[in-house]
Amino acid sequence: TVTITRDGVVYDYGTLDDQPQPTVSITTNAYDPTDGDNSIMAGDVRIADKVTYTGLTAGETYRLTASIVDTETDEPVTVDDKPVTATHEFTAQTADGYEIVETTLPATGLGGRTVTVFEELHRVSDGTLMAEHKDKDDVDQQLRVIAPQIGTTATDGTDGDKTVIADEKATIVDTVEYRNLVPGVEYALTGTLHVKHVDEEGNVTEEALLDGNGEPIIAEITFTPDSPDGSMEVRFTFDATTLPDGTELVAFETLSHDGVEVAAHADISDEGQTVMVENPKPAIGTTATDGTDGDKTVIADMEAIIVDTVEYANLIPGEEYTLTGALYVKHVDDDGNVTEEALLDADGNPVSAKTTFTPENASGSVEVTFTFDASAIADGTELVAFETLFHNGEVIAVHADITDKGQTVTVEHPEEPEIPDTPEQPEPEHPTPEPDKPQGTTYGKTGVSTMPIVAGIVLLIAAAGGTAFCAHRLHRKDGSDGRDE
């Protein structure tokens, strides 16, 4: 048999005994079997190639072999360094017809590229190449691999804004919108955080954000999309306490399938991927008042009370803090120089107070109450409340200003009530001498003399006795006169 191949077409000129054979030829049309077009997703996808043939011998068995090349480079698509191929055997029923060759194309790493399907036709009985179609520029043989696309928007995981509070468990949520994925195929999203730097000339650089162990901050999820387009959230949780206020963090994302990167979004200048760190230093301010009536003076008694209202700002809601207060005596010398010394109790220990609290908001206020013996403190002494704020055992804010009037309370001794003097009696110019009063001649409570009373009683008794005596004499006289008659 004499055959000549030219431009992918085999011309059979028959046998040497000059018996003509039909001309065998093939044409191909590659497509996506799911929708019939010539676009496929980047992944392990099924592709189909319709091979139309002419000039075959009915009843003869043939083999179609498909191979795939990168249209741009003309290099074969490989897996594990082996070309991707597919074979299909069939027995021709007629001289002309078509066959469908299907295979799985590992197009995961081919997003955005175009591939061409080549075909060869062999006779199985002797392996003779009957025809081939290998034109990389033939659009009917080409498939366009749609590149997966992702875009990200990073926000604070607490309130969804573009600033994140610098606490030990700061959270950034990166919402990743994807397109052109293969439904039912598992993908992985891997995110990293990067610090954006801008120098004085406006040049932008970036470096990976590292944790306390020097490892990059990484977040990863796996998912299987139900449709080509959708969105997923990648959540970063990290310690941001050491990041300076105003630091810009940018979330980078990589989409992969079977360990092969298929899409990435890593733009250090993308505002959508950027979150700013808020790390203002905690601050406190205090106002000390008398615990009894709320004024700025405290009575110097044995249980004096000073209430120090501490206003705070830039704290982390839900975290525990401790306020420790101490009282100081303010001294001002003749030259106006101000000094301070700790107020001590009777045992020589500083007068102090402490309270522990958990704020619900970043700003607010809390009271620290001092109870102490102020009875020995001099009138007019100025006491100043100093406050120190602790978080996890570390000092994070201090308010200690000996000249701060808001922190100052003055000790006051109450005035003792005056006792009025007894007025002196004027001396008479000619005083009347008082007779001596014998002891026991007056009533103890009234001071009235008993002598006139006694004299009156004696006179009454005497008068009564005289009257009785006279009556007796008259009676006797009347009796004598009768006997004489």
Structure tokens at 437: 């009063």
What is the predicted pLDDT for the residue at 484? 43
Sign of the Cα torsion 384, 390, 394, 397 reads: negative
Compute the average pLDDT of residues 108-118: 88
CA distances from 424 to 417, 421, 427, 429 (A): 22, 9, 9, 15
CA 2 to chain centre: 82
Listed residue (303, 249, 8) closest to 137, CA to CA: 8
Say how far apart CA 408 and CA 404 lie, in whole Å. 7
- Segment 254-258 shows an average pLDDT of 90
- C-alpha gyration radius of the chain: 58
Q: Which residues pair with 251 in a beta bridge?
A: 193
* pLDDT of residue 38 exceeding 80: yes
**Does pLDDT of 7 surpass 80?**
no
**One-letter amino acid for residue 347 of the chain:** D
- Cα separation, 454 vs 288, in Å, equals 78
The more confident residue out of 81 and 480 is: 81
- Phi, psi angle pair for 289, to nearest 5°: -140, 165
**Above 50 in pLDDT, residue 99?**
yes
How does the average pLDDT of the chain come out, rounded? 85
Least confident of 63-77, 240-254, 358-372, 465-479: 465-479
pLDDT band at 474 (very low <50, low <70, confident <90, very high): very low
88 close to 99: Cβ distance less than 8 angstroms: yes
Which carries the bigger pLDDT value, residue 6 or residue 280? 280
More confident position, 246 or 454: 246
pLDDT (average), residues 397-408: 95
Instruction: Write out pLDDT tens, residues 324-379.
Output: 999 999 999 999 999 999 999 999 999 999 999 999 998 999 999 999 999 999 99
Q: What residues does 426 pair with on adjacent strands?
A: none
Residues whose CB is less than 8 angstroms from the CB of residue 145 and which lie 6 or more positions away in sequence, other chains included: 39, 40, 41, 42, 107, 110, 111, 112, 113, 114, 115
Question: Global pTM?
Answer: 0.58
Determine the average pLDDT of the residues in 191-202.
Answer: 94
Q: What is the pLDDT of residues 233-249, one digit of tens each?
A: 999 999 998 899 899 99
Per DSSP, 428 falls in state P
More confident residue, 469 or 257: 257
Report the percentage of the chain scoring pLDDT > 70.
Answer: 81
- pLDDT-derived band at 112 (thresholds 50, 70, 90) equals confident
Write the DSSP symbol of residue 436: P
Contact assessment for residue 343 and residue 351, using Cβ atoms and an 8 Å cutoff: yes
Type of residue at 82: K
* 67 Cβ contact list (under 8 Å, min separation 6): 76, 83, 84, 85, 117, 118, 120
Domains and their CATH numbers in the chain: 3-146 (2.60.40.3930), 149-278 (2.60.40.3930), 283-412 (2.60.40.3930)
Stretch 138-157: mean pLDDT: 93
**Backbone phi and psi for residue 337, each to the nearest 5 degrees, phi listed first:** -75, 135
Distance CA 211, CA 232 (A): 24
How many C-beta atoms surround the C-beta of residue 451 within 10 A? 12
CB atoms within 10 A of CB 475: 9
Maximum pairwise Cα distance, the chain: 235
pLDDT over 80 (residue 47): yes
